[in-house]
Structure 1
Amino acid sequence: MGRKNKKTILSGIRLERYAAEGKSIAHLEDGKTLLVQGGVPGDTVKLIVLKNKKSYAEAKVMQIESPATERVEPFCKHFGVCGGCKWQMLPYHKQTEYKQQQVADQLRRIGNVALPEIMTICGSERTEFYRNKLEFTFSTQHYLTQEQIDAAQGEVIEREPALGFHAPGMFDKVVDIETCYLQPEPSNKIKNLMRQLAKEHDLPYYDFKKQEGWLRNMIVRVATTGEVMVNLIVHHKRPELFILLDALKDQFPEISSLNYTINGKKNDTIYDLDVINYHGKAYIEEYLEDFRFKISPKSFFQTNTKQAEKLYQITRDFAGLTGEEVLYDLYCGTGSIGIFCSKGAKKVVGIEVVADAIEDAKINAAWNNLEHCAFFAGDVADIATDAFFAEHGRPDVIITDPPRAGMHEKLVQQLLKMRAPRVVYVSCNPATQARDLQLLDEAYAVLKIQPVDMFPHTHHIENVVLLELK
């Protein structure tokens, strides 16, 4: 296999074991390692080499020649085209086994620190309809599968508009989704009504490439309390907007917060835009145990509510609170972890760089009558000074829940200076968590490790680690 020949196609390659991030490992006859996407261990495949490096190559499955014995029939007809649930062909017990393996491999290989035995992964009771939030996209660019293109035999295909999810790796192509198994009803019914009304009234979908059109996005939240929030996002105001909103209001009385947003920008983000409340409240309510949370249209909240309870229970257990500790909640978002742990702490100090999230955190603390919780907007490395500690107390326990990129090295150095007796590190990316654990190894030992599956049928995995000062 020539090193620069990226078009090399190989047949009869058996995928041996799971790597990470949905990829599998195979080996060539000369012993070279292949990282392969699109298959599962046990498959024998035909693949194309995408990158050929000195010590390994990256490849993608073109055809499954002999499927793994453990494969099962996917339950969603959009599987393989929509990128939302890439592991439906694996039984759930196998998914969690691979996720457990991913945590172990990455912590050992990247972290290279002393580790205790990793606890058995905490699986999700619900493997369908577990998400509380979905964002659907309206697009003129209906994604066409290779089979559809081949069947056209070179003839131009008239693209129908699509309402659904972006095709994997494509910012402008959207897979039209009829039934999605990620979010409970009335999610699908709301989506399908919007498609029906758009067709009846000949309403234009947005063309991301041409930057023209009208219907852009729709965000649906369904809380375990039964409350439903919808935010319909359009390019500009026109009379038909209120036809759509009134139809939602009349046909779905369970929508307790109906909103719209005007987005004339080139990108889809709404965090810098006003959300206009059209009907009902401007928020919905959610509970984690007996803690009540306000969820506004732009609020971040864990998307698997029931599994978030388990994640936070593990975090609280690792924190080992006795009622005497000052607890620091870093990357606190809207304060959910700190508030969830608040009954066991003398004081909770939350720090988050997003100012709007801190305002929500303050409201959530007030809703739960928690006068011993204080939240601050800013960069942790800048805020956590000796003067700040003198005013608010030095941390006895730190909980940190950073984004996928992990903690900034400046913050890691700050933690080493703060020297809290215990640190609980909640991560959605074991690879960056492992990197940070190696840096923290200077002062901290890893005592407990608990993987938690928040997203069945995907390769994503959360992991909770308890560290104590050496």
Structure 2
Amino acid sequence: MNKNEEFTLAIEDMNEDGAGVGRLDGYIWFVKDAVIGDVVRARAMKMKKNYGFARLMEVLVPSADRVVPPCPLARPCGGCQLQAMSYEAQLRFKERKITNNLVRIGGFKEEELPMLPIIGMENPWRYRNKAQFPFGRDKDGNIIAGFYAGRTHRIVPCEDCLLGVEENQRILKIIKDFMNQYRISPYDEESHTGLVRHALIRKGFRTGQLMVCLIINGSDLPQRDAFVRMLLQVEGMTSISLSINRERTNVIMGKEIVNLYGPGYIEDFIGNVAYQISPLSFYQVNPVQTEKLYGEALAYAGLTGNEVVWDLYCGIGTISLFLAQKARKVYGVEIVPQAIADARR
């Protein structure tokens, strides 16, 4: 097989990155955007001794589980590797992947694994309570926001990701309008110039409270009062802040947070427990599934009220405070001071 040579391949599995996996004459091929059960025409792109990477050219026979991705940017964006697969098939794939890892890596026998069925979502869209959007310019010089294409730092313009909340689109438009109106430039990684690097947007699903934290390559934001005034047009806007990050780094958030409006945090609930979430705090991004997960964990723990529980890497204490409903005492251990401050409030 030579580079750019095309061939027909039956997709038997998918790897952790969501690429289809098939074998041809004993040689393993990875094909991005292919789905288990597809028969595809692929083009050889890169070959190693025992495996190679190929580009999907055409789906010759679609899998019974193949669907049209709801997001038109699913393929170029690369953030949702499984959108071409039905949600039911996605759940089966993930469940099988966990079982295989326990057998292959953990050394368990499959027949001995007490695996219960995976618990999915009723509606697997609009569930993310957090999104981070990089800013840049397109080839015509227009300010854009979106997500990085897979394995690159090239921004694919996308202001309404179907996994995120609907408010993201309006907030990003306001930020771009603000930047254009006051001639504030987006950050350029190569030259380390420009001011606006990313926007962090968070929403409390139960409270409706919104947070915007603008990550900047500088010590201050010009026309900050106008920035706040424009964002306050969005219903639910509760916290507006800046994150100072002047480093040449891929790390998004800086260590210094400058509060511009509100208490510096938003609130949300998991079950009956209220949490305060600041820009640097870790908080589960899928609150619907988090409540199910924690409920299952609490049930399996079988706490009687006499136990002492240690929650390591506790973040803002989502698990700690949830388990505290049934334990005698819970200790949370965390390295981020702001997260501990949020947990103690």
TM-score when normalising by structure 1: 0.67
Specify which of 163, 166, 170 is matched with residue 182 of structure 1: 163
In the alignment, does 2:212 pair up with 1:239?
no
Q: Within 2, Cα distance between the matches of 1:358 and 1:245? A: 27
Structure 1 contact 217–232 (Cα < 8 Å) conserved:
yes
In the alignment, does 2:68 pair up with 1:73?
yes
Change beyond 3 A, Cα 1:10–1:159: farther
Structure 2 contact 215–254 (Cα < 8 Å) conserved:
no
Identity of aligned residues (%): 32
Structure 1 contact 323–346 (Cα < 8 Å) conserved:
yes
Residue 312 of structure 1 is matched in structure 2 by 294
Q: Which has the higher contact order (CA 8 A, sep 6+)?
A: 1
Specify which of 117, 120, 141 is matched with residue 117 of structure 2: 120
Structure 1 contact 183–222 (Cα < 8 Å) conserved:
no
- The one-character-per-residue Cα deviations of 1:246-302 (angstroms, maximum 9, x if unpaired) are 2112x1141011112333222254655321221222111111100111101111000
Specify which of 325, 337, 342 is matched with residue 360 of structure 1: 342
Q: Measure how far apart 1:23 and its partner are.
A: 2.9
- The one-character-per-residue Cα deviations of 1:184-219 (angstroms, maximum 9, x if unpaired) are 232211112222333344432111111111221111
Residue 248 of structure 1 is matched in structure 2 by 231
Structure 2 contact 148–156 (Cα < 8 Å) conserved:
yes
Q: Measure how far apart 1:19 and its partner are.
A: 4.0
Q: Within 2, Cα distance between the matches of 1:103 and 1:211? A: 41
Specify which of 24, 31, 42 is matched with residue 37 of structure 2: 42
Structure 1 contact 39–61 (Cα < 8 Å) conserved:
no
Structure 2 contact 160–168 (Cα < 8 Å) conserved:
no
Residue 59 of structure 1 is matched in structure 2 by 53
In the alignment, does 2:343 pair up with 1:346?
no
Q: Within 2, Cα distance between the matches of 1:355 and 1:212? A: 30
Structure 2 contact 188–194 (Cα < 8 Å) conserved:
yes
Q: Measure how far apart 1:344 and its partner are.
A: 1.9
Q: Within 1, Cα distance between the matches of 2:141 and 2:149? A: 15
Residue 195 of structure 2 is matched in structure 1 by 214
Q: Within 2, Cα distance between the matches of 1:272 and 1:75? A: 34
Q: Within 2, Cα distance between the matches of 1:277 and 1:185? A: 24
Q: Within 1, Cα distance between the matches of 2:36 and 2:196? A: 42
Question: What secondary structure does 2:105 align onto?
Answer: helix
Residue 304 of structure 2 is matched in structure 1 by 322
In the alignment, does 2:136 pair up with 1:139?
yes
Specify which of 12, 17, 22 is matched with residue 13 of structure 2: 17
Amino acid aligned to 2:127: Y
Change beyond 3 A, Cα 1:178–1:358: closer
Change beyond 3 A, Cα 1:213–1:327: same
Structure 1 contact 83–168 (Cα < 8 Å) conserved:
yes
Residue 266 of structure 2 is matched in structure 1 by 284
Matched residues, number: 339
Deviates more, 1:99-108 or 1:346-355: 346-355
TM-score when normalising by structure 2: 0.90
Q: Measure how far apart 1:355 and its partner are.
A: 4.0
Structure 1 contact 261–273 (Cα < 8 Å) conserved:
yes
Question: What secondary structure does 2:74 align onto?
Answer: coil
Amino acid aligned to 2:123: R
Structure 2 contact 308–330 (Cα < 8 Å) conserved:
yes
Q: Measure how far apart 1:103 and its partner are.
A: 0.7
Q: Which runs of 5+ in 1 are unaligned?
A: 143-156, 368-470
Structure 2 contact 19–30 (Cα < 8 Å) conserved:
yes
Q: Within 1, Cα distance between the matches of 2:337 and 2:223? A: 35
Q: Within 2, Cα distance between the matches of 1:201 and 1:24? A: 46
Structure 1 contact 49–57 (Cα < 8 Å) conserved:
no
Change beyond 3 A, Cα 1:255–1:100: same
Q: Which runs of 5+ in 2 are unaligned?
A: none
Q: Within 2, Cα distance between the matches of 1:239 and 1:32? A: 57
- Structure (1 or 2) with the larger CA radius of gyration: 1
- The one-character-per-residue Cα deviations of 1:397-445 (angstroms, maximum 9, x if unpaired) are xxxxxxxxxxxxxxxxxxxxxxxxxxxxxxxxxxxxxxxxxxxxxxxxx
Question: What secondary structure does 1:40 align onto?
Answer: coil
Question: What secondary structure does 1:350 align onto?
Answer: strand
Q: Within 1, Cα distance between the matches of 2:229 and 2:243? A: 15
Change beyond 3 A, Cα 1:47–1:120: farther
Question: What secondary structure does 1:275 align onto?
Answer: strand
Structure 1 contact 96–123 (Cα < 8 Å) conserved:
yes
In the alignment, does 2:101 pair up with 1:106?
yes
Change beyond 3 A, Cα 1:228–1:238: closer
Q: Within 1, Cα distance between the matches of 2:268 and 2:221? A: 33
Amino acid aligned to 1:15: I
Q: Within 2, Cα distance between the matches of 1:271 and 1:177? A: 20
Amino acid aligned to 1:112: G
Change beyond 3 A, Cα 1:131–1:315: same
Aligned-CA RMSD value: 2.2
Q: Within 2, Cα distance between the matches of 1:177 and 1:271? A: 20
Q: Within 2, Cα distance between the matches of 1:268 and 1:276? A: 21
Matches within 5 A, 1:265-276: 265-267=247-249, 269=251, 272-276=254-258
Structure 2 contact 210–236 (Cα < 8 Å) conserved:
yes
